[in-house]
Amino acid sequence: MTNLQAALAALHTQQLYRTRRLRSGAPTVRTTIDGRSYLTFCSNDYLGLAAHPAIAAALREGTHRYGVGAGASALITGYSSAHHQLEEALAAFLGRPRVLLFASGYMANVGILSALLGRNDTIFADRLNHASLIDGARLSCARLRRYPHVNPQALAKLLTSPRPLHSRTLLATDGVFSMDGDIAPLPELARLASEQSAWLLVDDAHGIGVLGPSGAGTVAQFGLTSEQVPILVGTLGKAFGTSGAFVAGDVALIETLIQRARSYIYTTAPPPALAHASLTALALVQSGHERREQLTALITRFRQGATALHLPLLASPTPIQPLLAGTAPRALAWSRHLERHGILVSAIRPPTVPPGTARLRVSLSAAHSAADVDQLLNALADLPRGNSDGIE
């Protein structure tokens, strides 16, 4: 264990050590962390549904009806009528033939890629894809080629490289990138996939519920069909406010995953009560036009205020609004400054983001008010300045 202790000490020295924060109570925008009340801007609860009373009531009802746990994997006795109803409802919402539930987005991506591809195949992935897509590609044993972020021209050049005969090709991308908040150029990626007879996988964890008609996500926002984007991944733990994930596609895709996705086969199914509650969350997402309008207004307000303050704001039209600090010490200094003002925004440091791009990841929710955003901007106006811990 001495080597582990040395490695942990090195993380402390580099200011890359991570600690858990203990929250008390519900995950609202005003909550208690480590015994202190904060206004929080670091949650993925984009529509403010994580503590919605209707979802909580549905969870209680589901627990009464189905019990607490699933009791087994989905292929034994763990697949319940609640799971089936949620899969059917999500498929109708997304305009897809079938949906398959997973326990988490990480397990979904790992399961999909390792089930569909092998050693002779190739995966082309955006360099800033979520870690689950990178890990899934590695576990598949397929050749992984990473192209520069949101750069379809560079991807097109990579796609001209020779590949084994009779091999499969898959393009993988986030819909909304979780740390930058920008949106993938899905129409261009769909065109390249079609030209190369490749599959296109879009992980729309941060888009579904927020973007597109009725919150159907980035694929729907661009008007792309299931033929253009045959593999669509989404999560329930962000805009839906519950937990779990799903993949949407045609019958052959879903049946293949049921037969071959190890992260689906060899794990206990998600709690049926949670699936029952997620049905209520889905209904709130579909009818959540006012929440999405509120969120859009808050994004505009924050970006205008941050621009007026000359803050290092990355280009993002989504609730994810990164302020680029550069170094880990500076990002930590900014985060601690906000904490002193009663505001919680976590510092995001390598390896979550590339070296030199440490940041504050400001995350907005429809549950925030305009006054909340103004309070954040007022605190940001007084960020520490200097060569090591402030804006240069």
Three-state SS sequence of the chain: CHHHHHHHHHHHHCCCCCCCCCEECCCCCEEEECCEEEEECCCCCCCCCCCCHHHHHHHHHHHHHHCCCCCCEHHHHHCCHHHHHHHHHHHHHHCCCEEEEECCHHHHHHHHHHHHCCCCCEEEEECCCCHHHHHHHHHHCCEEEEECCCCHHHHHHHCCCCCCCCCCEEEEEECECCCCCCECCHHHHHHHHHHCCCEEEEECCCCCCCCCHHHCCHHHHCCCCCCCCCEEEEECCCCCCCCCEEEEECHHHHHHHHHHCHHHHCCECCCHHHHHHHHHHHHHHHCCHHHHHHHHHHHHHHHHHHHHCCCCECCCCCCEEEEEEECHHHHHHHHHHHHHCCEECCEECCCCCCCCCEEEEEECCCCCCHHHHHHHHHHHCCCCECCCCCEC
Does the structure show a pLDDT above 50 at 389? no
Does the structure show a pLDDT above 50 at 362? yes
Mean pLDDT of 328-357: 96
Give me the pLDDT at residue 386, please. Answer: 59
Mean pLDDT of 141-159: 96
Q: Tally Cβ neighbours within 10 Å of residue 120.
A: 14
**CA atoms lying within 13 Å on the CB side of residue 135:** 11
**Active-site residue flag, 178:** yes
Q: Tally Cβ neighbours within 10 Å of residue 85.
A: 15
Residues in binding site for pyridoxal 5'-phosphate? 105-106, 178, 206, 235
Q: Tens digits of per-residue pLDDT, 57-109?
A: 999 999 999 999 999 999 999 999 999 999 999 999 999 999 999 999 999 99
**Active-site residue flag, 206:** yes
What is the distance between the alpha carbons of residues 237 and 235, in angstroms, rounded to a whole number? 6
- Look up residue 194 and give its two tokens: 């079609």
Give me the pLDDT at residue 385, please. Answer: 67
**C-beta of residue 28 within 8 angstroms of C-beta of residue 276:** no
Give me the pLDDT at residue 371, please. Answer: 98
Residues in binding site? 18, 105-106, 130, 178, 206, 235, 352
Give me the pLDDT at residue 198, please. Answer: 96
| The CATH fold of domain 15-47+289-380 | Aspartate Aminotransferase, domain 1 (3.90.1150)
Give me the pLDDT at residue 387, please. Answer: 52
**Which of 83, 206, 276, 368 is an active site residue?**
206
Q: Tens digits of per-residue pLDDT, 17-34?
A: 988 888 898 889 999 989
Does the structure show a pLDDT above 50 at 392? no
Give me the pLDDT at residue 384, please. Answer: 85
Mean pLDDT of 199-225: 98
Mean pLDDT of the chain: 95
Instruction: Please tell me the least confidently modeled range out of 159-163, 211-215, 285-289, 380-384.
Output: 159-163
Does the structure show a pLDDT above 50 at 357? yes
Residue (of 126, 150, 130, 183) closest to 318 by Cα position: 183
| The CATH fold of domain 53-286 | Aspartate Aminotransferase; domain 2 (3.40.640)
- Look up residue 227 and give its two tokens: 């033929």
**C-beta of residue 182 within 8 angstroms of C-beta of residue 150:** yes
Residues in binding site for substrate? 18, 130, 352
Does the structure show a pLDDT above 60 at 328? yes
**Which of 83, 238, 276, 337 is an active site residue?**
238
Residue (of 249, 242, 204) closest to 87 by Cα position: 249
What is the distance between the alpha carbons of residues 157 and 159, in angstroms, rounded to a whole number? 5
Does the structure show a pLDDT above 90 at 165? no
Degrees (nearest 5) of the Cα angle 3, 6, 9?
155
The residue to which tokens 């049926």 are assigned = 272
Give me the pLDDT at residue 81, please. Answer: 97
Mean pLDDT of 97-122: 97
**Which of 178, 263, 316, 363 is an active site residue?**
178
Degrees (nearest 5) of the Cα angle 230, 44, 356?
90
Q: How confident is the model at residue 248 (pLDDT cuts 50, 70, 90)?
A: very high
What is the distance between the alpha carbons of residues 10 and 34, in angstroms, rounded to a whole number? 25
**Active-site residue flag, 80:** no
**C-beta of residue 332 within 8 angstroms of C-beta of residue 348:** no
Fill in the amino acid letter for 366.
A
Does the structure show a pLDDT above 90 at 317? yes
Q: What percent of the chain has pLDDT over 70?
A: 98
For the chain, the domains span 15-47+289-380, 53-286
Q: Tens digits of per-residue pLDDT, 31-52?
A: 998 999 999 999 999 999 999 9
What sign for the dihedral angle of Cα 131, 132, 137, 140? positive
The residue to which tokens 């034994």 are assigned = 76
The residue to which tokens 């898959």 are assigned = 170
Cα 346 from chain centroid?
A: 16
What sign for the dihedral angle of Cα 31, 33, 38, 39? negative
